[in-house]
Amino acid sequence: MDEALTQAMIEAALAGGRAILAVASSGETDVRLKADRSPVTAADEAADAAIAAVLGRAFPEIAIVSEESAGERAPAQSGLFFLIDPLDGTKEFVAGTGEYTVNIALVDKGRAVAGVIHTPALGRICAGVVGEGAREAEVVDGAPGPWRTIRARTTPASAPVAVASRRHAGPRTEEFLASLGVCERASRGSSLKFCLLAAGEADVYPRLAPTMEWDTAAGHAILEAAGGRVERLDGTPLTYGGPWAAGAKPWANPDFVAWGARSA
């Protein structure tokens, strides 16, 4: 993939992160509810604007679909578009845990082919291009340091290490983890879970609760670039931008499981 495209996604994620931190430092963390009853803050909106400005300036020919604007746009069923969550983990942002992210994905004909996830409060950024590999860096004073390659580790046949949602795990998730013989697990907010798998720090992440496509596309691309995979419960990969089944909520994901690398 054109390096200029990847670099624009990285710069956009960093710009979104700076916007979020600026709002956090101002103390403007009041939560409002959108029409769909999901939470939004001034940080979501500031990050959205900052990201759109960078991507729109660098690649004006590529459509942008964001959590904050998806309801205003027709489904992108083919072609190329950016899929963005400007602040994934609004509840983590408000709670001050630092486990919130900026998610930027590039989707091509329904497939997440590139992704960037930036964790502004924790100073970490991950990027990946499917077929070209994944990398991460520490972010200091708003700029990434040296990049290092990351790779998903082979999922063990027994006792894998799991990562699960901090706020959305439930009985079905517990039953699934028990069926795998999981004996060690970590709980994380937002799309950080995909980064842990991509970096070989965990083996499996089941999500048996509602998510939206902008929650997962960037992490899906990074994990696949690192050698892992994201699958629906029937083993088929997640796709993005529709078409959706009759009666399904636009932009909603089915249940899925993210895995490390397959054994040889």
One-letter amino acid at 137 equals A
Spatial CA neighbour of 30 closest among 42, 13, 18, 15: 42
Kind and range of the H or E run holding 144: strand 143-144
- Does 21 carry a binding-site annotation? no
- Does 231 carry a binding-site annotation? no
For the beta carbon of residue 123, count every other beta carbon within 10 angstroms: 17
C-alpha to C-alpha distance for 48 and 67, rounded to whole angstroms: 9
Spatial CA neighbour of 47 closest among 107, 100, 126, 123: 100
- Does 89 carry a binding-site annotation? yes
- Per-residue CA distances from 170 to 90, 174, 197 (Å): 20, 6, 21
- Does 2 carry a binding-site annotation? no
- Does 177 carry a binding-site annotation? no
- Does 87 carry a binding-site annotation? yes
Q: What is the DSSP string of 213-237?
A: HHHHHHHHHHHHHTT-EEEETTSPB
- Does 141 carry a binding-site annotation? no
Q: Which residue in the block uniquely carries the two structure tokens 């919130």?
A: 100
One-letter amino acid at 119 equals T
Residue numbers belonging to the annotated binding site for substrate? 67, 87-90, 215
Residue numbers belonging to the annotated binding site? 67, 85, 87-90, 215
Residue numbers belonging to the annotated binding site for Mg(2+)? 67, 85, 87-88, 215
